[in-house]
Amino acid sequence: MDLQFTLQGYALQLKNQPRTLRRVAPVFEKLTKTLYETHFPNAEARRPGRNPDCPEVSDILTVA
């Protein structure tokens, strides 16, 4: 499965639905995680220092 097809599939999950934060946040998280893992594999393991205690949702709140 190629990257564009995967991202389109995630984006189409929002088609014809109200775009509330509760619906958009999980889709945005999937999009971001897919892009990040595609372009920066194993980036979390290479980051200096300890891993953050914050959940992954904090990335979405930062973007918002």
Query: Which pLDDT score is estimated for 57?
Result: 59
d(CA 18, CA 32): 21
Q: Are 31 and 7 in contact (CB under 8 A)?
A: yes
Q: Compute the half-sphere exposure of residue 50: CA atoms within 13 Å on the CB side of its CA.
A: 3
Q: What is the pTM of this model?
A: 0.58
Query: Which pLDDT score is estimated for 1?
Result: 58
> pLDDT for 5-38, tens place per residue?
888 888 888 888 888 888 888 888 888 888 888 8
Alpha helices in the chain (DSSP H): 3-12, 21-39, 43-46, 57-63
